[in-house]
Structure 1
């Protein structure tokens, strides 16, 4: 798949009420510092693929539309104009003649006879504007707040500011533009936009450099290559990423869907570092208002991405992933806590502290081992020192330490409690890896705290008050309040480190199997007393119609795989196949919910491979249901893994048998080391389930032993 086949408008047709990705049509380098798109409207959903008008090319750092119009920190808007559109801030364009690709954005203003081609560089872009008119120019404006400070001769300079910085110095993006034609007129028009006319009226090229560090860096970051060379460079960069996984399949549209997802998996986190004159990484420290050595990355919500993104990177991304981990460590050193939601600094959003899962996973897989001690230090700091401002790390750690759960008077108490227990387990994994056995034992015990919220009378996780009483009036379909973006149905199984312990609480496999079967087979009913209104995740669960398993939201990604813990992997295989084929596409409504920084794209990729990282921090991937005829994964260590699926037809919804490297394989999981050794996995599908394919006596990892009421 060549990068030119990717349509960046994938999953961009959305509304406030219903998400089908809530994605943006980004053009730029993998993990880029800047992305480029066109803006079609002035609100959170600032692009829609069906719009036939636009407000300009937008240099953007948007992590999600839920960050709001001010969440696109330090952005710039450039709108080409000719005689017919001079003075207008919203003009027609022709989508049918325009190009939306990761390596090129080309917009045709048919009525104005303007064609603008933008090719990104690592830290800027080349913008080539051609027209057939009497006048040619650009209008520069700012979605956030900014100013053009210079327009002399061929040079245009300015800046754009981050708004609403929290406990940090606001970022300031400097831009330096050199045009092939001098500016002959500059006029301030509506909303403070600056209209700049060029001496040449038919062909102008803008070389754009940007920097968060200084004007001098912006000049140095300006691309020097010609358009053809620059285009070849970014095309090669993207094709190298897409080439990490090769797909062969009888369904061409399905192949397109896979690569749309693989492209999105390489967009976040975004670079926030630049290269000095010696080619060494440096970055602006927002906390100290200074420039520091080393990597830095941003735009990542770990509550979403910890579940899939970094497990995928551990398999296929050997170059960027260690740098990303170094960047997270710099966020910790400069911000005081391991980050939770970076945009651009840590805003502390969402429950828990799920970066701990990313760090534990990296440790057991040997990614950046030089950071292991610092990982543990940062994890322990969040687990022992509550942020006095109540934002970063474990914001309710003091209550958790006192009660072993978060009391019901705290928002989203159940999800915070469960996520803290999972983080405790992650700490135990890292401590054990480093030979700190006493510390590991302490946190293994704390990792069982999730059991404090389990009400055996109702068979669900329920909020508790400070006296240890379960909250009255419980309903398993009530969204919000005690739960995050879900009800107790979606939240009860959020302890991936100890599903066996949960099974023990239910009284054994039979009762557990009955519960998760009910979850899958129930109608997607809900009430929204906790929110007071329908949120889009509720609407998506209802529209998607997969029972109480809301594949449109990250906390449900792993729920189908619960059947493996009851020795019934074949129960989930048709469900996964139906989810993959019914809920995902290559189109403008490509997802069953918010994509969220590569998390849903990575989930799709794993499910396509036929295995899934159920619990980051273990070395196990649980077998699910493969989707493609053949996949060749070029692993991060240079080896190849070939996955072949025989009898891959719509009516074959079960794995009849599988082989690993030519040998029959009966475990319901496969280890990271086995995958990284390369070789072959051969799936053979069948019309009816084969209960003997997987050994029902072999279950995936859990902290607790079978039948243990509490403890290991």
Structure 2
């Protein structure tokens, strides 16, 4: 009996242990949370967000998505939520820009009965109506029903290959239109070719000019069925092939794989073989979505607010559409010099919207995409070697020179000062210095006179203020490298913003050749690209001194006057004059969150000891400028910058100075944020007592120790640990008030 009891106890112990092991294994084997479920790619596809809608992988070369026929400003990405007519699916798209381009290689499935009328007044006579009820939009996947031809379309991608799945449901044969004429916005076909090269394959190229003035896209396509008939229906001696129709026997399923290359058709063919050598659409979709889950999983948030969680992960998703890959699978790429360059040993990127992204998107990448930062910088240095300066706004191997400043500089300098060493530091300094010493875009006046006369250049104030930010960055790099003479030169130039400050109006103003102020003066006036500012007015540009906030305070005559003027920015009537720039949007007073020059301004209160006002303003922006609706962005997404502001701010901090390595505290939105760092480390942000009313920081701890500063360094974040905010409903005006606790702009 005793033995039986012991045996029974032993059996119970074994069963209990087995159960524990089973539970443990079950927990370990539980699937990782599918963060793509919190992404809504429709956010920003309405209003003026201009975001890309379709299938892609993070930072991929292919953005495969639907295109509307409309060519207005709000269709810069080729698609707008308000539209209901589709003309096909192009393999390259922009996301959030204010200028349209790309839309290369448009494919459209139609039924066998379709015949083009070839009417120049109706070039896309295959267009079809659709409804959003028939769309499914997810990271890495897109589905739509084409009503006119009764075709279900599914799309997914690899980095360089677009994968289509068509289900033709009408009786008879099926057809696919391949159109090279279409391009988004300003893009125009200059030379095209589509030709059949095998029983199931076609190849060709599309050359165009537009925003990118010499764009070249080569492609190779395989179909899962033999081609029954190949016909070119539109062509000319001037442009070559514009449109082809490819017919297949019967209806049912047709799979289409199209690889692209900036180098050549053979490169595209190799990309297809390398990345997608099977016909398993479900597996390709799974891989694309897993790639998104992996990248989204680098930041995990905890909140009971499902809407805010959706907005956050959609923002994180949007921040990783650009920059985009610009090389073949073997590493070859086409340079800004239009020559083909062999594998340089790093991934080459394009789509650098630097006037926007230097402010927060690239600093964000140094935290959540550190493995890509060296490639971004090396891509910029290669561009410098090929065109003599760092990229300004680089698109598909072309320098567009769009917007003001030479903002490759802060991206390179920030990477260097944060310890990234996968690039040639001496070459990097050569590049930043050379970019600043050219005689273009008003720089000759900067070198000779310290300011750009308003009667010699448009956007003179905007140019000079942005140049001063970049020059501060060059000085910081020079100091770190022991280059004393360069440090002194660019430190002096970084102060040239002072030449535009009018103490009487307390605004940055245009200064004429004779030294007088431009008159008459209206601080809320802004004519698009035809005045002293760039997509803004004097109210917004007066604060564009993130590299020397202390110096700006001195210009105002002290902290009291600075605070009074800053308060006024947010309270003055939020009006826009007729004819003003379309980019002055998202107004709180004259603060314009819809455009990038304003993005750092709310955080300037911390520099004068009033961090609590920063908390108020950023919470207001969360609530008013970001929603989960198609018009949920207050301005253009601008290749991730609008989203990067939200990502960093809601985590609790923001990089006012783009290259000094410090992040200023605002008001954390989520109960907990965990950032996955290299080497198995993590940095956790906890907001205790967080709520819609408890928006003010009461106290802070870093790794269990009291922390009284209103900012944190990049080094502290990357070391890993825990930052805890204790939040409350009333301001703790003492927090961050002491001079020693405030952020600083210095080197």
Q: 1:512 aligns with which of 545, 562, 569?
A: 562
1:99 aligns with 2:142: no
Matched with 2:442 is 396
Distance of aligned partners of 1:4 and 1:206 in 2 relative to their CA distance in 1, 3 Å threshold: farther
Q: 1:598 aligns with which of 640, 657, 663?
A: 640
TM-score normalised by L of structure 2: 0.87
- Report 1:388-537 matches (<5 A): 390=440, 395-409=441-455, 410-480=457-527, 481-527=531-577, 533-537=579-583
Deviation track 1:477-518 (CA, whole Å, cap 9, x = no partner) reads: 222411111111100111111111111111111111111111
| C-alpha contact (below 8 Å) 2:606/2:736 kept by paired residues | no
Task: Tell me the equivalent position of 1:7.
Answer: 40
| 1:113 is aligned to 2:154 | no
Q: C-alpha displacement at 1:259, in angstroms?
A: 0.3
Q: Find the aligned partners of 1:247 and 1:677 in 2 and give their Cα distance.
A: 20
The root-mean-square deviation of aligned C-alpha atoms, in Å, is 2.0
Counterpart position of 1:315: 367
Query: Which SS does the other structure have where 2:637 is aligned?
Result: coil
8 Å contact 2:96–2:640 — kept in the other structure? no
Task: Give the 3 Å change call, closer, same or farther, for CA 177–545 of structure 1 in structure 2.
Answer: closer
- In 1, Cα distance between equivalents of 2:179 and 2:374: 37
Look up the match of 2:91. Answer: 59
How far 1:467 moved relative to its partner? Answer: 2.3
Aligned with 2:178 (options 135, 140, 153): 140
Deviations 1:330-363 (Å, cap 9, x if unpaired)? 1111121111111122111111112211122111
SS of equivalent residue, structure 1 residue 421 = helix
- TM-score (norm. length: structure 1): 0.91
Separation of aligned partners in 2, 1:246 and 1:101: 19
Inter-CA distance 619–164: structure 2 relative to 1 (3 Å threshold): closer
1:577 to 619, 630, 643: 619
Measure the CA separation in 1 of the matches of 2:633 and 2:609. Answer: 30
Tell me the equivalent position of 1:39.
67
Query: Following the alignment from structure 2 to structure 1, what is the Cα–Cα distance between the partners of residues 140 and 130?
Result: 20
Quick one: distance in 2 between partners of 1:400 and 1:50?
45
2:239 corresponds in structure 1 to none
Contact 1:424-1:447 at 8 Å conserved across structures = yes
Per-residue deviation, 1:421: 1.6
Q: Secondary structure at the match of 2:364?
A: helix
Whole-Å Cα distance in 2 between the matches of residues 448 and 131 of structure 1?
65
The residue aligned with 1:48 is 80
The corresponding residue for 2:106 is 77
Q: Which of the numbers 285, 305, 319 marks the counterpart of 2:357?
A: 305
Q: Structure 2: which 5+ residue stretches go unaligned?
A: 1-33, 117-124, 184-188, 236-241
Deviation at 1:161, TM superposition (A): 1.2
More displaced, 199-208 or 587-596?
199-208
Q: Could you tell me which residue of structure 2 aligns to residue 174 of structure 1?
A: 218
Which string of whole-angstrom CA distances, capped at 9 and with x for unpartnered residues, describes residues 132-161 of structure 1?
322212111121433312264211222111
1:48 to partner: Cα distance: 2.1
Shift of 1:446: 2.1
Q: Offset of 1:83 from its aligned partner?
A: 4.2
Aligned length: 675
Instruction: Quote how far apart the aligned CAs of 1:627 are.
Output: 0.6
2: CA distance, partners of 1:65 / 1:354: 17
User: Which of 320, 325, 342 in structure 2 is aligned with 1:266?
Assistant: 320
* Alpha-carbon contact 1:38-1:58 (below 8 Å) kept: yes
Query: C-alpha distance in 2, partners of 1:200/1:121?
Result: 28
Is residue 2:201 matched to residue 1:155? yes
Contact between 2:233 and 2:245, CA under 8 Å: does it hold in 1? yes
1:251-400 matches, cutoff 5 A: 251-276=305-330, 281-294=331-344, 295-344=347-396, 345-368=398-421, 370-386=423-439, 390=440, 395-400=441-446
- Pairwise CA distance, 1:243: 0.3
Cα distance in 2, alignment partners of residues 204 and 632 from structure 1? 43
Q: Is the 8 A contact 2:231 2:244 kept in 1?
A: yes
Post-superposition CA distance 1:222-262 (Å, at most 9, x none): 12132233222212211111000001101011101000000
Deviation at 1:613, TM superposition (A): 0.4
Secondary structure of the residue aligned to 2:491 is: helix
Which stretch of the first structure deviates more once superposed, 327-336 or 437-446? 437-446
Deviations 1:174-225 (A, max 9, x none): 2111112111123444785322110242121112222121221111111213
Name the counterpart of 2:285. 231
CA contact (8 A) 2:96 2:636 kept: no
CA distance in 1 between counterparts of 2:563 and 2:737 reads 17
Rg larger in 1 or in 2? 2
Aligned-partner SS, 2:342: strand
Partner of 1:708: none
**Is 1:690 aligned to residue 732 of structure 2?**
yes
In the superposition, relative to structure 1, how do residues 702 and 208 fare at CA in structure 2: closer, same or farther (>3 Å)? closer
Q: What is aligned with 2:27? A: none
The residue number in structure 1 matching 2:30 is none
Q: Do 1:171 and 1:286's aligned partners in 2 also have CA atoms closer than 8 Å? A: no
- Do the aligned residues in 1 keep the contact of 2:454 with 2:511 (CA within 8 Å)? yes
Greater mean deviation of Cα atoms: 190-199 or 598-607: 190-199
Which deviations, in whole Å up to 9, do the C-alpha atoms of 1:412-450 show, x marking residues without a partner? 111111112222211111111112123212221221111
Is the Cα contact below 8 Å between 1:3 and 1:103 reproduced in 2? no
